[in-house]
């Protein structure tokens, strides 16, 4: 498909020598001069395009080639292929002067190819202005040619999207009127279809037949993009283009205050002017519409108002047409796109003029009734929900059912649809404030919303980074934390659910209780795991809690732990956890912070066993544990028992080293009367003894012992913390000093020297030495080792070299110099 030959073409085009290139230019110049438009010219121009387009830096064409390409482009008699080539080359190369292009606006195709160059190469607003104004002149009713080429509308659409402000109120009114004509007054007969009859009858015109609906019935009302004909007339094409651009147009110019600054001033003048225009779209009645009975035909409307009115009716008709059973599959898809567009356009109109809300609701409601519960139409629900969100209050319509459908049903049934997932999250992003403030179901459904993320995590992570804060309140924080931690389990569960050949609703779904479960798929169908899967797959917050048996769930899902989708999901969790903790810290809720610390200790070991997952999560836990302690230092006292259990378990060193060292650091830092009056000598001693026992256990030197499986940082951290605690309860000083003095035999033992580097050993010994010296002066030690109340971020301890405040190092050096003076 992409062969190496193709790659070498790019290389050749990029590396072409100047001399060769000049020769190539003159060949092209000669060919064009001779008006030779044969294969050789085409082939050369195709190569020229490759040469000018494949480099990052533009190539400058010789003046004569440039001029010849310009005149080739601008001549209506040039074949489309050559026009396409010359416009492509001119777009990509230098230099360019768009004013050098002169074009006859009669020929739509030529105008269009020239415009591609003008719109890309334009460097000044005026250049686009000139083009736009010439285009608009073609639309004026007094233009002789009458018919406007269908190529012009997309140019207009693009130009105005580049520079919406250059249209004056006059222009806006002019285009509005034309759009009404194309949307509303388009011929409903099929285009003339010339076909050569039999040999004797000769060519004849078939009697024009009316266009049909997508289901083959004769069109029931005015022409829309959902009308089918063998051939289309020029105005039917225009109608299609007009509808295609109507949303953008209304967004830009719907508002009565839009357009240029003196719009309001213009308005009056234009209104009186428009009355005199002999324009068929001024007065209603030339086409009787069956469904437009409510239109305000009796009053003359401003062009913008008329356009709103007609666009609204058009959308109404589209919604009705979308209910027809299309004969062609591609038309079914178009119907869906039309429903989305129609509801969106109605929404735009209603936002500008709320009087439309009452007319629109019955249609939107009816559409909702048709598409709800039909999975094929889920994406249509989003603009409908948007409409309800924007207007249900005005119309006093109950929107509960729509949001229930959207949040409770759609995510759990359609999480595997990437497009829907994206649009769903965009809908949430766009409305995040109103959803989180006034749609209770939004936050309530977070477990369901997480299904999109669990399935499409790489594509959606940035969306959820934005959404997570809106889902999170102090009341659901703990549950969200558990859900985030179990997100990879959710991925595994929905994957199993999707692969399961039987639905849980089926009679045969559940296996016999006595069956021994050997795979996650069997577990999914086993009654004894039902509760767990129901919990993981829950659609709303607060239903069920099986944390006690999470280990069992992790175990049974272990056969899918290395499946790529699960691994990808696991990689996104730390990102979200960071956001989670940052927000929770902002809540500053004391009770919540206390609870979180407990969950953090508990869940640090209770995680789905995915490669690197535990380590990454613990890393996040570690840094945020310190933040939480800083916010709420007394939690060290409140969770004394749990922290003693955690730090007293030497197994935690090998399985959660990072978190372990952070917890130990926090104990040394925050177990102090300066934070909490309850830090009695007894309590400090209790912590001291627990940590002392741990340090003793891990530094026991036996010849047969295997090398330590933890980093030297654990040792230095324990030593420092013991010293800190001793400085606050000075009876402990002799004990810790004695202990520290024995560190040399540990650090120099064979198993240790075999696995720690020389610097590491040096670090341990220096630290021990520093601490011993410091503790010789208890009052100094108390000052140096006291908690750093301000100025120091809790992160500095991470770096081994700055494990203690700089003050300590400085003092230690002073002390060491005066070592001889100190009492032994």
Partner 1 sequence: AMVHSFLIHTLCPVGALSCTESRVLYSRVFGADLTQTGPAGDREQESEARRLLQKEQLAVVARRQVRSVCALQREAAGRPGLHETGAVLGEEEAALQEADSGVLRLAEGDPFPREHTVVWLGVQALGFVLVCEAHENLLLAEGTLRSLARHCLEHLRLLGTGSEVLLKADRIEVLLHRLLPHGQLLFLNHRFKHSLDKELGACLAR
Q: How far is the CB of 413 from partner 1 (least distance, A)?
A: 18
Instruction: List binders of partner 1 among 204-223 (CB under 8 A).
Output: 214
Among residues 333 and 545, whose Cβ is nearest to partner 1? 333
Q: How far is the CB of 154 from partner 1 (least distance, A)?
A: 4
Work out whether strand 212-213 and strand 203-205 pair parallel, antiparallel, or are unpaired: unpaired
Whether the ω angle into residue 577 lies within 30 degrees of 0, i.e. cis, is no
Instruction: List binders of partner 1 among 429-458 (CB under 8 A).
Output: 458
Q: Which of 35, 56, 591, 702 binds partner 1 (CB under 8 A)?
A: 56
The reply on whether position 84 binds partner 1 by CB under 8 A is yes
CA–CA distance, 32 with 41 (Å, rounded to integer): 7
CA–CA distance, 619 with 460 (Å, rounded to integer): 23
Contact code string over 244-263 relative to partner 1, x by CB under 8 A? xx-xx---------------
CA–CA distance, 306 with 321 (Å, rounded to integer): 22
Among residues 46 and 594, whose Cβ is nearest to partner 1? 46
Question: What's the half-sphere exposure (Cβ side, CA atoms, 13 Å) at 534?
Answer: 12
Among residues 244 and 444, whose Cβ is nearest to partner 1? 244
Q: How far is the CB of 304 from partner 1 (least distance, A)?
A: 20
Tokens of 50: 């490759």
Q: How far is the CB of 241 from partner 1 (least distance, A)?
A: 7
Q: Which of 16, 27, 37, 46 binds partner 1 (CB under 8 A)?
A: 46
CA–CA distance, 315 with 254 (Å, rounded to integer): 16
CA–CA distance, 83 with 687 (Å, rounded to integer): 84
Q: Which of 65, 72, 85, 487 binds partner 1 (CB under 8 A)?
A: 85
Q: How far is the CB of 135 from partner 1 (least distance, A)?
A: 12
The reply on whether position 6 binds partner 1 by CB under 8 A is yes
The reply on whether position 88 binds partner 1 by CB under 8 A is yes
The continuous run of DSSP H or E covering 521 comes out as helix 520-524
If DSSP codes are grouped into helix, strand and coil, which group holds residue 804?
Answer: coil
Q: Closest Cα partner for 634 from 679, 603, 589?
A: 679
Q: Which of 391, 554, 565, 728 binds partner 1 (CB under 8 A)?
A: 565
The reply on whether position 612 binds partner 1 by CB under 8 A is no
Contact predicate 684/735, CB 8 Å: no
Tokens of 384: 């409908």
CA–CA distance, 641 with 678 (Å, rounded to integer): 14
Question: What are the C-alpha distances in Å from 450 to residues 408, 468, 603?
Answer: 12, 10, 19
Residue 413 sits at the vertex; the CA angle it makes with 377 and 438, to the nearest 5 degrees, is: 80
Work out whether strand 227-228 and strand 203-205 pair parallel, antiparallel, or are unpaired: unpaired
The continuous run of DSSP H or E covering 183 comes out as helix 169-184
Contact window for partner 1 (CB under 8 A) among 154-162, 177-185, 640-648, 761-769: 154-162
Contact window for partner 1 (CB under 8 A) among 51-59, 99-107, 200-208, 804-812: 51-59
Among residues 240 and 743, whose Cβ is nearest to partner 1? 240
The reply on whether position 536 binds partner 1 by CB under 8 A is no
Total count of residues recorded for the chain: 824
Q: Which of 20, 134, 140, 162 binds partner 1 (CB under 8 A)?
A: 162
Contact code string over 134-153 relative to partner 1, x by CB under 8 A? -----------------x-x
The reply on whether position 41 binds partner 1 by CB under 8 A is no
Among residues 153 and 577, whose Cβ is nearest to partner 1? 153
Report the b/e string of 683-701 with b at 16+ CB within 10 A: bbbbbbbbbbebbeebbee
Q: How far is the CB of 259 from partner 1 (least distance, A)?
A: 18
Instruction: List binders of partner 1 among 221-240 (CB under 8 A).
Output: 225-232, 237, 240
Q: How far is the CB of 363 from partner 1 (least distance, A)?
A: 18
Contact window for partner 1 (CB under 8 A) among 138-146, 335-343, 603-611, 773-781: 335-343
User: Which residue has 């030495």 as its token pair?
Assistant: 769
Instruction: List binders of partner 1 among 370-389 (CB under 8 A).
Output: 379
Instruction: List binders of partner 1 among 639-678 (CB under 8 A).
Output: none
Contact window for partner 1 (CB under 8 A) among 18-26, 86-94, 629-637, 798-806: 86-94
Contact code string over 290-329 relative to partner 1, x by CB under 8 A? --------------------------------------x-
Q: How far is the CB of 784 from partner 1 (least distance, A)?
A: 47
CA–CA distance, 296 with 391 (Å, rounded to integer): 22
Q: How far is the CB of 341 from partner 1 (least distance, A)?
A: 6
Contact code string over 96-135 relative to partner 1, x by CB under 8 A? x---------------xx-xx--xxxxxxx--x-------
The reply on whether position 50 binds partner 1 by CB under 8 A is yes
Classify burial at 160, counting beta carbons within 10 Å of its beta carbon; exposed 0-12, middle 13-18, buried 19 or more. Answer: buried
Among residues 51 and 771, whose Cβ is nearest to partner 1? 51
Q: Closest Cα partner for 674 from 710, 647, 637, 700?
A: 637
The continuous run of DSSP H or E covering 196 comes out as strand 194-196
Contact window for partner 1 (CB under 8 A) among 420-428, 529-537, 616-624, 711-719: 420-428
Q: Which of 202, 564, 791, 823 binds partner 1 (CB under 8 A)?
A: 564
Among residues 354 and 418, whose Cβ is nearest to partner 1? 418
CA–CA distance, 516 with 526 (Å, rounded to integer): 9
The reply on whether position 334 binds partner 1 by CB under 8 A is yes
Among residues 95 and 197, whose Cβ is nearest to partner 1? 95
Among residues 155 and 489, whose Cβ is nearest to partner 1? 155
Instruction: List binders of partner 1 among 453-482 (CB under 8 A).
Output: 458-459, 462-463
The reply on whether position 243 binds partner 1 by CB under 8 A is yes
Contact window for partner 1 (CB under 8 A) among 8-16, 392-400, 478-486, 652-660: 8-16
What's the maximum distance between 2 C-alpha atoms anywhere in the chain? 131
Q: How far is the CB of 702 from partner 1 (least distance, A)?
A: 47
Tokens of 344: 């969106």
Classify burial at 782, counting beta carbons within 10 Å of its beta carbon; exposed 0-12, middle 13-18, buried 19 or more. Answer: middle
Among residues 188 and 684, whose Cβ is nearest to partner 1? 188
Q: How far is the CB of 563 from partner 1 (least distance, A)?
A: 8
Q: DSSP labels for 53-117?
A: HSSSSPPBPPHHHHHHHHHHHH-TTS-HHHHHHHHHHHHHSB---GGG----TT-HHHHHHHHHH
Q: How far is the CB of 684 from partner 1 (least distance, A)?
A: 50
Tokens of 175: 């285009």
Contact window for partner 1 (CB under 8 A) among 87-95, 275-283, 712-720, 731-739: 87-95
If DSSP codes are grouped into helix, strand and coil, which group holds residue 213?
Answer: strand
DSSP 672: S
CA–CA distance, 128 with 126 (Å, rounded to integer): 5
CA–CA distance, 117 with 86 (Å, rounded to integer): 9
Tokens of 227: 């009308």
Q: How far is the CB of 215 from partner 1 (least distance, A)?
A: 12
CA–CA distance, 806 with 243 (Å, rounded to integer): 71
Among residues 377 and 665, whose Cβ is nearest to partner 1? 377
Q: How far is the CB of 568 from partner 1 (least distance, A)?
A: 6
Q: Which residues contact 59 (CB under 8 A, 6 or more apart)?
A: 21, 51, 52, 93, 94
The reply on whether position 38 binds partner 1 by CB under 8 A is no
Q: Which of 294, 426, 793, 816 binds partner 1 (CB under 8 A)?
A: 426
Residue 755 sits at the vertex; the CA angle it makes with 751 and 756, to the nearest 5 degrees, is: 110
């Amino acid at each position: 498909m992409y062969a190496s030959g193709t790659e070498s073409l790019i290389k050749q085009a990029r590396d072409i020598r100047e001399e060769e290139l000049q020769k190539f230019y003159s060949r092209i110049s000669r060919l064009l001069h001779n008006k030779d438009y044969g294969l050789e010219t085409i082939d050369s121009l195709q190569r020229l395009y490759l040469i000018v387009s494949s480099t990052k830096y533009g190539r400058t064409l010789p003046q004569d080639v440039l001029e010849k390409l310009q005149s080739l482009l601008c001549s209506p008699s040039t074949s489309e292929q050559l026009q396409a080539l010359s416009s492509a080359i001119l777009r990509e190369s230098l230099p360019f002067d768009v004013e050098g292009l002169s074009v006859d606006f009669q020929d739509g195709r030529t105008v269009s190819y020239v415009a591609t160059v003008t719109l890309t190469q334009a460097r000044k607003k005026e250049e686009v202005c000139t083009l736009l104004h010439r285009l608009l002149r073609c639309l004026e009713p007094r233009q002789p040619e009458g018919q406007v080429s269908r190529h012009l509308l997309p140019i207009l659409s693009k130009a105005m999207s580049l520079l919406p402000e250059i249209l004056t109120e006059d222009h806006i009114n002019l285009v509005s009127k034309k759009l009404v004509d194309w949307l509303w007054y388009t011929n409903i007969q099929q285009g003339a279809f010339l076909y050569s009859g039999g040999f004797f009858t000769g060519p004849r015109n078939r009697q024009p037949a009316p266009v049909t609906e997508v289901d083959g019935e004769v069109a029931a009302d005015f022409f829309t993009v959902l009308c089918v004909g063998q051939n289309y007339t020029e105005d039917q094409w225009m109608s299609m283009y007009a509808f295609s651009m109507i949303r953008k147009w209304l967004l830009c110019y719907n508002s009565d205050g839009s357009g240029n600054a003196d719009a309001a001033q213009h308005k009056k003048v234009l209104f009186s002017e428009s009355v005199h225009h002999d324009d068929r779209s001024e007065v209603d009645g030339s086409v009787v519409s069956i469904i437009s009975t409510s239109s305000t035909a009796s009053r003359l409307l401003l062009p913008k108002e008329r356009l709103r009115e007609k666009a609204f009716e058009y959308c109404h008709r589209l919604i009705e047409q979308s209910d027809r059973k299309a004969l062609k599959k591609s038309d079914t898809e178009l119907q869906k796109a039309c429903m989305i567009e129609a509801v969106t356009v109605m929404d735009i109109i209603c936002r500008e003029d709320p009087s439309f809300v009452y007319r629109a609701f019955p249609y939107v409601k009816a559409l909702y009734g048709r598409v709800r519960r039909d999975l094929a139409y889920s994406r249509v629900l989003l603009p409908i929900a948007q409409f309800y969100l924007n207007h249900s209050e005005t119309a006093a319509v109950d929107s509960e059912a729509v949001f229930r459908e959207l949040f409770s049903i759609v995510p759990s049934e359609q999480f595997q649809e990437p497009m829907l997932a994206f649009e769903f999250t965009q809908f949430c992003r766009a409305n995040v404030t109103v959803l989180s403030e006034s749609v209770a179901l939004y936050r309530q459904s977070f477990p369901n919303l997480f299904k999109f993320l669990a399935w499409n995590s790489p594509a959606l992570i940035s969306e959820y980074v934005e959404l997570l804060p809106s889902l999170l309140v102090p009341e659901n924080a703990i549950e969200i934390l558990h859900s985030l931690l179990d997100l990879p389990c959710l991925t595994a569960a929905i994957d199993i659910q999707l692969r399961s050949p039987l639905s849980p609703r089926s009679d045969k779904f559940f296996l016999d209780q006595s069956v021994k479960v050997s795979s996650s798929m069997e577990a999914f169908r086993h009654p004894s795991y039902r509760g767990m899967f129901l919990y993981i797959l829950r659609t709303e917050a607060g239903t069920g809690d099986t944390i006690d048996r999470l280990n069992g769930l992790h175990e049974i899902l272990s056969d899918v732990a290395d499946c790529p989708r699960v691994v990808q999901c696991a990689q996104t969790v730390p990102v979200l956890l960071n956001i989670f903790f940052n927000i929770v810290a902002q809540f500053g809720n004391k009770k919540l912070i206390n609870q979180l610390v407990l969950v953090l200790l508990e869940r640090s070991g209770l995680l789905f066993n995915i490669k690197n997952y535990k380590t990454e999560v613990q890393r996040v836990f570690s840094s945020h544990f310190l933040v939480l302690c800083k916010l709420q230092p007394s939690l060290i006292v409140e969770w004394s028992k749990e922290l003693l259990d955690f730090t007293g378990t030497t197994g935690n060193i090998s399985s959660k080293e990072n978190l372990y060292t952070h917890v130990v650091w926090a104990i040394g830092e925050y177990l102090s009367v300066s934070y909490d009056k309850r830090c009695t000598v007894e309590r400090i001693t209790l912590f001291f003894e627990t940590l002392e026992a741990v340090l003793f256990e891990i530094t026991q030197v036996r010849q047969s012992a295997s090398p330590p499986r933890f980093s030297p940082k654990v040792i230095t951290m324990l030593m420092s913390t013991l010293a800190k605690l001793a400085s606050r309860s000075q009876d402990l000083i002799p004990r810790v000093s004695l202990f520290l003095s024995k560190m040399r035999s540990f650090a120099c033992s064979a198993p240790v020297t075999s696995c720690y580097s020389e610097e590491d050993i040096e670090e341990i010994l220096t630290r021990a030495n520093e601490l011993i010296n410091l503790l010789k002066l208890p009052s100094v030690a108390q000052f140096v080792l006291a908690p750093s109340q301000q100025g120091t971020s809790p992160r500095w301890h991470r770096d081994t070299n700055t494990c203690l405040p700089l003050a300590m190092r400085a003092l230690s050096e002073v002390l060491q110099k005066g070592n001889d003076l100190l009492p032994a």
